[in-house]
Amino acid sequence: MATINLAILLPFIAAILLFLFCRNIKKFHIGWIVLIVPAILFITLMRQLPQITKGNTIINSTSWIPSYDINFVTHLDGLSMIFGLLITGIGTLVIIYSIYYLATERLILQFYIYLLLFMGSMLGVVLSDNLIMLYVFWELTSISSFLLIAFWFQRKGSRYGAKKALHITVLGGFAMLVGFLMLYNVTGTFSVQEIIATIGQHKDHPLIPAIIILVLLGAFTKSAQFPFHIWLPDAMEAPTPISAYLHSATMVKAGIYIVARFTPVFGGEAIWFWAVSVVGLITLFWGSLTAIRQTDLKALLAYSTISQLGLIMTLFGVGSVSLHPNLNIETIIYSQAIFAALFHLINHSTFKGALFMVIGIIDFQVGTRDLRRLGGLIAVMPISFTIAMIGSFSMAGLPPFNGFLSKEMFFTAMLQLKDFDIMNIQAFAGMFPVIAWIASIFTFLYSMMIVFLTFFGPYNEQPDVKVEEPKLGMLVPPIILSLFVVGIFLFPNVLGDYLIKPAVASIYPNITDDLIGDIALWHGFNTELMMTIGIVIIGIILFIFREYVRKIFILFPRSLSFDTLYNNTIVKIDIFAKKITNFYMTGYLKHYFAYIFLFFSLVLGGALLYLDAFSFSLAGDQPVDIFMWIIAILIIVTGIVILFSKSRLTAIVLNGFIGFSIAMLFVLLRAPDLALTQLVIETVSTALFLLCFYFLPEWKPFVIEKRKKVIHIIISVSVGVVFTVIALSIKSGRLFESVATYFEKADELAGGQNIVNTILGDFRAFDTMLEVVVLFIAGIGVYTLIKYKKDKGADKVED
Amino acid sequence: MKINEVLLQSVTKIIVFIILTLAIYLFFSGHNNPGGGFVGGLVLASSFVLMLLAFDIETVKHGIPVDFKLVAALGAAIVVITGLGAVVFGEAFLTQTFRVFDIPVFGLIELSTVTIFELGVSLTVVGVVVTIILSISEDVS
């Protein structure tokens, strides 16, 4: 277990320790303890940075389920490093912020456990090399996000938002899993690095387009791309630190990570380019357009996040073209698109994180985040104003902030598209810069709305609230982020050399450092700068006439939105599922037994017939002596008598008799372990029977229709026949190699002479483990079914 | 009619200890002889069942103030964690190991990680059986 593997596990371990030992801490805020975890992880990753900058990668592997090629393999390269540092760095700041933001929260322990769960699984996503491991962590991020959105579960909106996010992201996750399995089928490995190395041989495989679509579905749902973006605005019901952390800086970038990670695999495929860049472009446009109509500051930021994610996605799509086999990797300038994408990804995390935190502060101090009620806060909250201004201006792409640099690079990449003469790109190349430019105008517009509508204009007095700057601890994290916003503008190449270039190198395996240019502050009066100036001028005009701009939204009726589609689908699926369930869940035990037995005899009997597994020979069997005959006949006779018993008690006693007789049979066959277990089980289950006896209705001699009786007889006879046939042919070894040789060597292999227990505890320990877990679940199930009946025990906490 | 339970109660007081001894014996002997974690756990559970039959729930609960749901959860956790223990040492999940130690007075003793695994199995069995019986019988009263 090496450092990086432990780094993933640390948050999980910390969460368990937190739950066990920190439940009753009242003296200080529990967040101070949690803070240690991301801080340690951040330092650990920083210590690996020199290695990564040199172009090395760090691989650790531990076997997990080697027989299925599923291993705990971590792979730390430049790309993972960027994400790892964002997760841990912003995680640290968010936890400091949350200490003040959630100072009086009652369920604070749960909050931090969910947060640690998220942090660990997100690190797992970006560090895994094994696809199955990646998928497991991927779904864990969805689950922890669900828990965090629903943190204030008393609110209806929180529950709705949490469910919506879970539905959509897990849907994509499933699609991605299918894609991964197909990829395994094509390449024969789950390791991303091996897939990158060998994918060249499989370019013509017919499954590749399907794999691309399925993997992209996962990426698009997670990164809130059009039309799956609808979950992100509703996820804003989460506490603001969570919105800043999960829903702007890290989790929503997991989809972008997947796209970046798979660019060397699928880059150069036409379908990959078109899907990624067009979806990204539509998302960029739609997100920025919808952001303008918002009046809730957090919803505005949510749509702005959607739009910025679309921007990054588009850049990755454009950058993937340079992997086309017809292009010479030496001549590409388009790798700048990937560079710009990674650069903007970091910038977006800094300015959007700062903005979310400021809006949290406003909400916390003023008590509202409605644009219509805010205004004039500059007089009372000058520091917050400064942070908000830095963040917004950076988002709008203005100097001297880092957003300006990446926005310019974005325009460069869009304008260069027309130089491509492959995949019909030239035919549509004009569309990209135009849409990007229009979307940027909207971006400028809503960025200005954040600053000017909140901090300028008439001051709206809020009743009973004295508005002032919050505690210093709440201001420090956004201040640090906004220092980054300015710092990155002034020294962009520090970031570029140490972080982004290694990351670009891990996306383009053949590229060398000098092919990637440095970031320049001043390009001269080129088209990009003209576009920015145009954005500012038109943006200001639109800002002045914003009331008229909003009127265009009347053109979009609400009933035609994707939200409505989602709501209706959920309702329809619910009704449909209820119908199906009610069809077979009749509430009669006899029906359920019939299903189980029918399934058993059809599937097993069918398999026996289909595989021609039946073989029957008595040769070599142990002779059956007289005692066994007697017991066997007794069992059969008792079985028949049960059918005619007149009272339930008789039936139970006779059933017990059969059980004990079987135990006797085990003794005669020299299987003391089985006999012992059978005896004890029979005793305990008879006691259980007697307990349940109290609840059972009176035993009535009931009349069944003849037709049903025939069905019952057929089912029971078929089960008996199938069982007998299996028992008879089990010895033949026709379908499987006999595993008996293991058991003969039990003493030397497992160190035990009792082979029954070596099977249970060693050879088949996995089965035993799962059985134990199932037993536990069953026990808890019985307990809850009996204890928590309707209107009993459960508190009503939901609204 | 009130049933006199003096006989059953007196016998139970003695027999429970015999059953408990048997349970512990079965648990440890399972490695080389008949027995093992599952049977050991069941026998242990049956001693609790006997106590519940002879005395009422309140008395038993007062005598053994243990939450059996937690016992079951602990058992399941032990089983899973022993599996992960092997992973820490770089082995495959659920790999078990054993070694013979020469301990003064006791002589050669074989210690095995399966014992911990079996302990988990036993605890789960005891916990689940007693939880089920308790919850059903408490519902009666």
Same domain for A511 and A439: yes
SS3 A644: coil
User: Exposed/middle/buried for B2, CB within 10 Å: 0-12, 13-18, 19+?
Assistant: exposed
Min Cα distance A575 → chain B (Å) is 34
Min Cα distance B61 → chain A (Å) is 17
In-domain check, residue A148: no
Within 10 angstroms of residue A453's Cβ, the number of other Cβ atoms is: 18
In-domain check, residue A367: yes
Confidence band for B63, pLDDT divided at 50, 70 and 90:
confident
The pair of structure tokens assigned to A235 is: 């996820």
What is the widest separation between alpha-carbon atoms in chain A?
Answer: 106
Select the residue of A762, A773, A786 nearest B114 (Cβ to Cβ): A762
Select the residue of B43, B87, B112 nearest A680 (Cβ to Cβ): B43
In-domain check, residue A146: no
SS3 B112: strand
Residue with tokens 């605890």: B123
Select the residue of B34, B43, B131 nearest A754 (Cβ to Cβ): B34
Give the per-residue pLDDT at A142. 93
What would the pLDDT profile of A325-372 be if each residue is shown by its tens digit? 776 655 555 567 888 899 999 999 999 999 999 999 888 888 888 888
Same domain for A596 and A514: no
Do A783 and B131 count as a contact with CB atoms less than 8 A apart?
yes
SS (HEC) of A694-711: CCCCCCCCCCCCHHHHHH
In-domain check, residue A632: yes
Residue B108: pLDDT above 80?
no
Residue with tokens 């204030």: A152
Residues in CB range of A559: below 8 A, 6 or more apart: none
Same domain for A592 and A528: no
Partners of residue B75 in chain A, C-beta under 8 Å: 772, 776
Q: Does B4 touch chain A (CB under 8 A)?
A: no
Q: Which residue did the predictor score with more confidence, A168 or A702?
A: A168
Give the per-residue pLDDT at A1. 45
The pair of structure tokens assigned to A608 is: 């026996």
Do A768 and B137 count as a contact with CB atoms less than 8 A apart?
no
Q: Does B73 touch chain A (CB under 8 A)?
A: yes
Do B93 and A64 count as a contact with CB atoms less than 8 A apart?
yes
From CA A284, how far away is CA A414, in angstroms rounded?
A: 13
Partners of residue A749 in chain B, C-beta under 8 Å: none
The pair of structure tokens assigned to B64 is: 């053994």
The count of CB pairs under 8 A between chains A and B is 154
Q: Does B42 touch chain A (CB under 8 A)?
A: yes
From CA A125, how far away is CA A222, in angstroms rounded?
A: 12
Q: Which residue did the predictor score with more confidence, A784 or A427?
A: A784
Same domain for A605 and A487: no
Select the residue of B38, B128, B140 nearest A776 (Cβ to Cβ): B128
Q: Does A685 touch chain B (CB under 8 A)?
A: no
Cα distance from N-terminal residue to C-terminal residue, chain A: 47
Q: Tell me what percent of chain B is helix, strand and coil, each rounded to the nearest 5.
A: 70, 10, 25
What would the pLDDT profile of A272-328 be if each residue is shown by its tens digit? 988 999 999 999 999 998 888 888 888 899 999 999 999 999 999 888 887 777 766
Give the per-residue pLDDT at A134. 93
Residue A692: pLDDT above 80?
no
Residue A125: pLDDT above 90?
yes
Confidence band for B1, pLDDT divided at 50, 70 and 90:
very low
Min Cα distance A181 → chain B (Å) is 22
Among the candidates A544, A576, A610, a domain finishes at A544
Region of A559 on the Ramachandran plot (φ > 0 left; ψ -120 to 50 alpha; else beta): alpha
Give the per-residue pLDDT at A559. 64
What's the domain count of chain A?
2
Select the residue of B75, B91, B96 nearest A772 (Cβ to Cβ): B75
* Mean pLDDT along residues A597-620: 82
Give the per-residue pLDDT at A765. 82
% of chain B surpassing 70 pLDDT? 87
**Residues paired with residue A130 on neighbouring β-strands, in sequence order:** A191
Domain range holding A444? 267-544
Cα distance from N-terminal residue to C-terminal residue, chain B: 18
Do A768 and B79 count as a contact with CB atoms less than 8 A apart?
yes
Partners of residue A786 in chain B, C-beta under 8 Å: 135-136, 139
Same domain for A337 and A470: yes
Q: Which residue did the predictor score with more confidence, A461 or A549?
A: A549
* Mean pLDDT along residues A98-111: 84
In-domain check, residue A275: yes
Tell me the residues of chain A between 773 and 792 that have a Cβ less than 8 Å away from chain B. 773, 775-776, 778-780, 782-783, 786-787
From CA A61, how far away is CA A129, in angstroms rounded?
A: 9
Give the per-residue pLDDT at B29. 82
* Nearest alpha carbon to residue A3 among A84, A70, A69: A84
Do A761 and B37 count as a contact with CB atoms less than 8 A apart?
yes
Q: Does A687 touch chain B (CB under 8 A)?
A: yes
Within 10 angstroms of residue A717's Cβ, the number of other Cβ atoms is: 11
Contacts 24+ apart (CB under 8 A), A8-11: A8/A74, A8/A120, A8/A123, A8/A124, A8/A127, A8/A137, A9/A120, A10/A37, A10/A40, A10/A41, A10/A120, A11/A37, A11/A41, A11/A116, A11/A117, A11/A119, A11/A120, A11/A123
What would the pLDDT profile of A45-92 be if each residue is shown by its tens digit? 888 888 888 878 888 887 777 778 888 888 888 889 999 999 999 999
Partners of residue B118 in chain A, C-beta under 8 Å: 757, 761
Same domain for A490 and A597: no
With the CA atoms of A388, A469, A237 and A145 taken in that order, what torsion angle do they form, in degrees rounded to the nearest 10?
80
Tell me the residues of chain B between 82 and 141 that have a Cβ less than 8 Å away from chain A. 83, 87-88, 90-94, 96, 98, 110, 112, 114, 117-118, 120-121, 124-125, 127-129, 131-133, 135-137, 139-140
Give the per-residue pLDDT at B48. 87
Region of A471 on the Ramachandran plot (φ > 0 left; ψ -120 to 50 alpha; else beta): beta
Contact indicator for A301, A392 with CB cutoff of 8 Å: no
Among the candidates A689, A715, A736, a domain finishes at A736
Residues in CB range of A493: below 8 A, 6 or more apart: A518, A519
Q: Which residue did the predictor score with more confidence, A731 or A123?
A: A123
Contact indicator for A360, A244 with CB cutoff of 8 Å: yes
In-domain check, residue A85: no
Task: Return the DSSP state at B2.
Answer: P
Same domain for A524 and A600: no
From CA B136, how far away is CA A776, in angstroms rounded?
A: 16
Select the residue of B31, B43, B136 nearest A752 (Cβ to Cβ): B31
The pair of structure tokens assigned to A724 is: 């007998």
Backbone angles phi, psi at A296, to 5 degrees: -85, 125
Residue A160: pLDDT above 50?
yes
Nearest residue of chain A to residue B36 (CA atoms): A757
Give the per-residue pLDDT at A516. 64
% of chain A surpassing 70 pLDDT? 92
Tell me the residues of chain A between 694 and 713 that have a Cβ less than 8 Å away from chain B. 694-695
Q: Which residue did the predictor score with more confidence, A798 or A215?
A: A215
Task: Return the DSSP state at A251.
Answer: G
Same domain for A453 and A385: yes
What would the pLDDT profile of A441-457 be if each residue is shown by its tens digit? 999 999 988 888 888 87
Query: Choosing among A70, A748, A776, which should be mutated to test the B contact, i.e. which has the most B CBs within 10 A?
Result: A776
Residue A797: pLDDT above 70?
no
Same domain for A489 and A417: yes
In-domain check, residue A501: yes
- A577-602 exposure pattern, b = at least 16 Cβ within 10 A, e = fewer: eeeeeeeeeeeeeeeeebeebeeebe
Within 10 angstroms of residue A525's Cβ, the number of other Cβ atoms is: 9
Nearest residue of chain B to residue A71 (CA atoms): B92
From CA A182, how far away is CA A192, in angstroms rounded?
A: 13
In-domain check, residue A770: no
From CA A565, how far away is CA A362, in angstroms rounded?
A: 34
* CA distances for A576 relative to A166, A170, A554, A570, angstroms: 20, 20, 34, 10
SS3 B103: strand
Partners of residue B72 in chain A, C-beta under 8 Å: 775-776, 779-780
The pair of structure tokens assigned to A332 is: 């590409």
Min Cα distance A304 → chain B (Å) is 43
Looking at every residue in chain A, the average pLDDT score rounds to 85
Cis (ω within 30 of 0) for the bond into A509?
Answer: no
What would the pLDDT profile of A722-761 be if each residue is shown by its tens digit? 988 888 887 766 667 777 777 777 777 766 777 777 787 7
Do B114 and A691 count as a contact with CB atoms less than 8 A apart?
no
Do A684 and B49 count as a contact with CB atoms less than 8 A apart?
yes
Between A141-150, A322-331, A535-544, A638-647, the lowest mean confidence (pLDDT) is in: A322-331
Same domain for A633 and A524: no
R_g of chain A computed on alpha carbons: 33
Select the residue of B31, B69, B128 nearest A778 (Cβ to Cβ): B128
Same domain for A379 and A298: yes
Residue A630: pLDDT above 90?
yes
Q: Does B61 touch chain A (CB under 8 A)?
A: no
* Mean pLDDT along residues A602-618: 81
What would the pLDDT profile of A207-231 be if each residue is shown by its tens digit? 889 999 999 999 999 999 988 988 9
Same domain for A415 and A338: yes
